[in-house]
Chain A
């Protein structure tokens, strides 16, 4: 049982951080399909940063700065170049996945993966069965709670939500929706950097090409499933990783009786199911992902 909880926390925590980035963006009116790209930039720069500088602090600063820059780039294409947010987000994902591959190959040659000598600090023996988890896992519930307060219990959170839901209303109250979206994406960049760092340096200390493997899109699905509520979305992300962990267990139990690929696909199948379910529960609100922002 403890093993299962540890496995869920280990695989779920990166997903939760990236999901939160998507929640903040969505509250401000952007359905963030660039999460995958920002997350892999965070993962790659953490590991490459550690290898090149030998300093975790410098590596994390690099990860945060690059992820924020990538997010600001997304804001710029949407807000200033008037690109469609969905297309621009997918473009950022392509940039992240391709760019990190290019960077790792140009620095380290054609290695399949890069291993760092150390990763994020661990919780240590005091935490018993959770000793091997990183500090970012322990911080995760607090980040979720703080974000809930910020989004749902502060005037700033209301202004952010107004900017997303009814930009004209926000402007009428003296709030600049474009500025709010810049904040939302940049702040999301910090959260996605944490998610990427946890994925690469939380337990493995490895960066491999395309190592996010669709987790950014799963996080996006968790945003939809969790109705853009920080706590709901965090639970949705944990649910997806629960299904993944159960899939791995099932491989051990069933062996070759069940196709290996099917079990590996379980989290993705759960994702589709979750999005479908949330669409049903909310009367198809998910389709508003492609709606125009109201600014008249």
Chain B
């Protein structure tokens, strides 16, 4: 019946290998014109690889791609763009020093090759207006809030009037209201005849916006462009997870199916606070917005979640607790001791542990061995010229890594050779120990697959049950709602709201964007 109109995008038998790892295996997908298609799956299921193959960024080892019935040369971005395929990346991909107008121009072929400063702005003002993006084209990319930056990315993708727009995990950095605005934009693009392919990992979002859904798991296709009408949320969830052993609330949180009710109530009594931030303000330092009069108290046996759109001071919060950001006003107490002027080593001695934002650059030394990465905890707290016994440290680290179920060949292997989940387990093995009374977990599950994510959640809960306080910073509200005993919201370097379960998505989302008075 659709013989006369070929599908917008057809992928046939796509296989992509990275070394021994098979990222995509014989994937066959076909997307009809003028619809919103969702592609879902866990982290590591191959969604991003699929998007990059379709956009010509990755050349598959086998298979073929056709656009509107025309074969697309593989692995050639220029050809893919000429045929009308554009991709908006998960982590934004525009040069931060460029102005918006420059970011539009550098990938466009709409106008002449030479321009004046004013002419460049005029070229792109109407383009932005046509897409309802209200922003000054002279502004620098780096100065834009994330939600505007994403709109600009979409505008960049539309410079040559793309007919197929692929968005890779576009909601990962957005607040719930931001996501709703994005979906509205996507629906308008659909109305203008654009075929939109959304790579998502939350079922709630799929239900909200998509016409069809395709599910990938472990690089294989589980469901191909099924109309949404024929599927229930739980059926999609089963296809994504493929039967893991996590409990029901966790399973729902993992796939963003429905709001989990909160499992355990906080057991906070009259115990003394482990961490007390008292009206803390930091000095501006160009690494994010400074903190502005932040007060926060953590008691033993509670997990406090920090919600917020990324870039609203969460990194500064972690750095000031670690003693790495200049303290302007206010005081910090750890276990009842004023540490406002203490260095990180002193704070760690008092029981501070940090699972940092960037596990590959801040959490591990990728070129050092596993045992070196593990034992740095004890090495840093000792005297500088104390001799060390590598043999003993290797044995201790072997025992610890076994206990944490890290999969590795030898404790001499480089930390950089571990997978994301195992690397995070190594960090947990180092940071989460009996002496850890305050655990800062910054985006601890980002990029991990479902099994590793469930493991991390369990480890944080165990630490809480043992009496540690946990500060969990995350941009995944499902994660926060599932495991936090208490939730605060950060906006522009301030804590603007404080919630206890049961959490209401609407209220938290509004607080994240400042919509709440």
Contacts and interface: CB of A to CB of B under 8 A. Distances in A.
Interface string B93-125: 111111000100111100001111100000000
Given A172-B57, A172-B87, A174-B77, A161 B95 contact: yes
Q: Is the interface of B mostly helix, strand, loop or mixed?
A: loop
A156 interface: yes
A1 B108 CA distance: 50
B105 A165 contact: no
Counting chain A CB atoms within 10 Å of each CB, the highest count among B94, B107, B114, B117 belongs to B107
B81 interface: yes
Contacts of A174: 56, 76-78, 80-81, 107
B286 interface: yes
Q: Is the interface of A mostly helix, strand, loop or mixed?
A: helix
A153 B116 contact: yes
Interface residues of A, number: 21
Given A154-B115, A172-B57, A165 B97 contact: yes
Contacts of B96: 165-166
Contacts of B57: 171-172
B89 interface: yes
A26 interface: no
A171 B105 CA distance: 15
A259 interface: no
Contact of A149 (B80, B81, B107, B114): B114
B430 to A, nearest CB: 25
Interface residues of B, number: 28
Counting chain B CB atoms within 10 Å of each CB, the highest count among A168, A170, A173 belongs to A173
Contacts, number: 66
A166 B95 contact: yes
Contact of A158 (B89, B93, B98, B116): B98
Nearest to B117: A153
A173 B95 contact: no
A255 interface: no
A80 interface: no
B160 to A, nearest CB: 10
Contacts of A168: 89, 93
Contacts of A153: 114-117
A175 B76 CA distance: 10
A155 B159 CA distance: 14
B106 A166 contact: no
A190 interface: no
A173 B107 contact: yes
A227 to B, nearest CB: 11
A175 B93 CA distance: 13
Contacts of B114: 149, 153-155
Nearest to A174: B78
Given A166-B95, A171-B77, A173-B77, A158 B105 contact: yes
A165 B78 CA distance: 20
A155 B106 contact: yes
A159 interface: yes
A169 interface: yes
A168 B94 CA distance: 9
B106 A173 contact: yes
A158 B102 contact: yes
B164 to A, nearest CB: 15
A204 B440 CA distance: 67
Nearest to B82: A174
Interface in A118-161: 149, 153-156, 158-159, 161
A279 B94 CA distance: 24
A162 B108 CA distance: 13
Interface in A173-199: 173-175
Contacts of A283: 286
Nearest to A292: B361
Interface string B37-57: 000000000000000000111
B113 A155 contact: yes
A191 to B, nearest CB: 20
Contacts of A161: 95, 97-98, 106
Contacts of B117: 153
Nearest to A149: B114
Interface string B416-429: 00000000000000
A274 to B, nearest CB: 21
A172 B106 CA distance: 11
Interface in B107-164: 107-108, 113-117
Interface string A244-284: 00000000000000000000000000000000000000010
Contacts of A170: 106
A176 to B, nearest CB: 9
Interface string B67-82: 0000000001110110
Contacts of A154: 113-115
A291 to B, nearest CB: 12
A296 B360 CA distance: 14
A272 B89 CA distance: 41
Contacts of A296: 91
Nearest to B115: A153
A289 to B, nearest CB: 16
B98 A172 contact: no
Counting chain A CB atoms within 10 Å of each CB, the highest count among B94, B108, B116 belongs to B94
A70 B113 CA distance: 30
Given A171-B77, A172-B89, 18 more contacts: A153-B114, A153-B117, A154-B113, A154-B115, A155-B105, A155-B108, A161-B97, A162-B95, A166-B95, A169-B95, A171-B57, A172-B87, A172-B93, A172-B107, A173-B107, A174-B78, A174-B107, A296-B91
29 contacts: A153-B114, A154-B113, A155-B105, A155-B106, A155-B113, A155-B115, A159-B107, A161-B97, A161-B98, A165-B96, A165-B97, A165-B98, A166-B94, A166-B96, A168-B89, A168-B93, A170-B106, A172-B57, A172-B77, A172-B87, A172-B89, A172-B93, A172-B107, A173-B77, A173-B107, A174-B56, A174-B77, A174-B107, A296-B91
- 10 closest pairs, A vs B, by CB? A173-B107, A174-B78, A158-B106, A165-B95, A174-B77, A166-B95, A169-B93, A155-B113, A154-B114, A162-B95
